[in-house]
Amino acid sequence: MSDPTMYGDSDDPARGTEHGASHEETAMPPGGWEPADEAQKEQIAEIGEKRQRSRVREGLPWPLGATWDGLGVNFALFSAHATKVELCLFSADGHEERERIELPEYTDEVWHGYLPDARPGTIYGYRVHGPYEPEQGHRFNPNKLLIDPYAKQLVGELQWDDALYGYTIGHEDGDLSFDERDSAPFMPRCRVIDPAFTWGRSREIHIPWDDTVIYETHVRGYTMRHPEVPEMLRGTFSGLGVPAITDYLRRLGISSIELMPIHAFADDRHLQELGLHNYWGYNTLAFFAPHPKYMATDTVNEFKEMVARLHSVGLEVLLDVVYNHTAEGNEMGPTLSHRGIDNATYYRLMPEEPRYYINDTGTGNTLNLSHQRVLQMVTDSLRYWAEEMRVDGFRFDLATILGREPHGFDEGGGFLDACRQDPLLSQCKLIAEPWDCGPGGYQVGGFPPGWAEWNDRFRDTMRRFWKGDEGQLAEFATRLTGSADLFAHRGRKPYASVNFVTAHDGFTLRDLVTYNDKHNEANGEDNNDGHDDNHSWNHGVEGETDDPEIRALRLLQMRNLLTTLLFSQGTPMLLAGDEFARTQAGNNNAYCQDSEIGWVDWDLSAEGQALLAFTQRLIALRRHYPVLHRSRFLTGEYNEELDVRDVSWLTPAGEGMTIEDWEAPESGAIGVLLDGRAQPTGIRQRGSASTLMLLINTHPEEVEFRLPPVDSGEGWCLRLHTAEPERHTLSMFEGDERYAVVGRSLVLLELVRGHESNGPGW
């Protein structure tokens, strides 16, 4: 019988607890590892050598990773070029490497073995032997402890040290040198988990794309300053699941919460040296493991409980995932996992000089999804999060990389095809960030059916339009109606366009109307990082001001931008905190600000509370009126059979727009008539939805609009005016009546019969 402390605590492995979480609760140090006493090491090694041959079994080459089957643990690791793989087992506290076991079998390029006396809580890592030939693309170094690419949980923190590198830093041969120092004292370990979890009454959420409103936020930053989240839970999955948070999200009206990267990631060495941290998390270490710092309970099931709580209030959970690169950087980076397991397979290397990495991501390396095993790892990861963790969809960082084959981006590439044919993944929401920094990397509108895409054309157009830039009217109309020029092909729908005005990368909404220039000095890069072309406008003063006129104008512009976002065809995405005018003090690249700069401030001013109420009203209006989120593109063409035009573009005089009107550089006022009688589906029949009229004026001065004529007994009911956000009294107007729209504002009118209006908010 083996020493029970070798594999975690000595309790009965069949012991059950609430949600089946307790098998993972082995105590771990917060970071760093102490080497064992040398005499103790020798004694343990001798004992281990005597028993390992009789204990280890052949196991199976699948599933990859460490899998608990109720009787033991199967270990399987892919490496096409390794010569030997050693499984390293650690004490329950993770400090001591107790044993190295050579995996006995090699099947289909998978090294595998089975330990019948291992159990959940086992702490492990790998050492992989093979050629160290950087000029041939091979960087094996068994002195480096490696993370299992399929690890379901990491424990401990990465402690930056020169021993983490496969070569000797400072050596005259650079990365061609070979470093013999043991990296284990500085590496996180992997932990075997028991996936058992009682989902109880948790239900699956399937929100139609037409009804989707996405809310992008950060697990840590969203709750760190929230007064109703217990301090011990702030910044964690548990913190996101407390009633104060879930009730707020439900009342806001959004349908889907999109979490910035939650896969275990590394803190960048250069940031630590500056006293900063990788806050955003786009630096993945393990694609199957939740980030350790986001777990208050040190159990993977904490993530599942958060999902269950969000599902219970009707919210989808989407994950922002980073499968385009890893935290190992270029040839001068550390050896943490994939590089030491099979560098030549996992990464795209320069064909003529495989010592160097193809850097289409701008981060030093690019995952090689053209290889079937790398593709398998990524799709296995997605299926794990979708099936085991019950995530509802994914937003893919630098997604062009995922569709990139050796010849360039290919919408029929292996990864994109794999997702569309997979019976599970094809039912998830799949959202691409459709660009990278490689050749031909900008692919907005170029992804295949079944994908939605971030639409930066929408972002830039709406910013320019409301800022008052000339010549934006035609582009504005295209973006408002779902960007048909980009997405109306192959049966794609308007919701394929994920519209946003702000996102994590860039200014917040409040900063967009408060600063002309970025202010990223706190990032330690002399304000040289972040985008310079923001299409922002400070409205007369750079930064915060007490001037009441400027403050009022800024709030009006925020309402205009939010209204345009939520009243446009497509899928709106709202940045967390924009609904109450959150600021980052002008920092438009808060990737390293795990601080009050990056955290959401919940101490709302009166202005913030009013904007929140206005945003709730906008979302409610969007949901109430089907013509604001149609499943068919608006064309403006007259349908003779139904005697209706789905959208009409009108001048302030009430006349149809001409080419001259569209091209006039000073044009900044337009009427948009959305006819609810238009055909709503592929069946040729009239719709029965409400007809709406948008009156839009970006000029600083008032513009008078002539309202469209109506039938007898009908009139136009004022639904919303961005210049009068707190107005809640009914106002009716007759057809052909004149209506003055104040400068820089937007009006929503509904066609009603008499005083029958009963929309939300009245």
Q: Which residues carry out catalysis?
A: 397, 433
CB–CB of 187/295 below 8 Å? no
CB proximity list for 12: less than 8 A, separation 6 or greater: none
Token output for 275: 């006293």
CB–CB of 18/196 below 8 Å? no
Q: Any alpha helices (H) in 568-603, and if so which ranges? A: none
Task: Pick the closest to residue 479 from 387, 409, 572 (CA basis).
Answer: 572
CB–CB of 501/476 below 8 Å? no
CB proximity list for 687: less than 8 A, separation 6 or greater: 626, 676, 677, 678, 679, 680
Q: Are strands 703-706 and 738-741 parallel, antiparallel or unpaired?
A: antiparallel
Token output for 660: 């001259």
**Taking CA 571 as the corner, what is the angle to CA 566 and CA 575, rounded to the nearest 5 degrees?**
65
CA–CA separation, 47 vs 447, rounded Å? 57
b vs e for 62-88, b when ≥16 Cβ sit within 10 Å of the residue's Cβ?
A: eebbbbbeeebbbbbbbbebbeebbbb
Beta partners for residue 455, in sequence order: 499
State the burial class of residue 525 (Cβ atoms within 10 Å of its Cβ: 0-12, 13-18, 19+): middle
Please state the separation of Cα 649 from the chain's center in Å: 36
**Single-letter amino acid code for the residue at 458:** F
Order across the sheet with 97-102: list the strands. 97-102, 84-90, 123-129, 189-191, 154-155
CB–CB of 458/503 below 8 Å? no
CA–CA separation, 300 vs 153, rounded Å? 7
**Taking CA 393 as the corner, what is the angle to CA 316 and CA 338, rounded to the nearest 5 degrees?**
135
CA–CA separation, 205 vs 225, rounded Å? 29
Beta partners for residue 284, in sequence order: 265
Give the DSSP letter string of 231-271.
Answer: GGGTTSHHHHTSHHHHHHHHHHT-SEEEE---EEEPPPHHH
Give the DSSP H or E segment for 303. Answer: helix 301-312
Order across the sheet with 745-753: list the strands. 647-650, 669-674, 692-697, 745-753, 714-721, 732-733
DSSP reduced 3-state for 57: strand
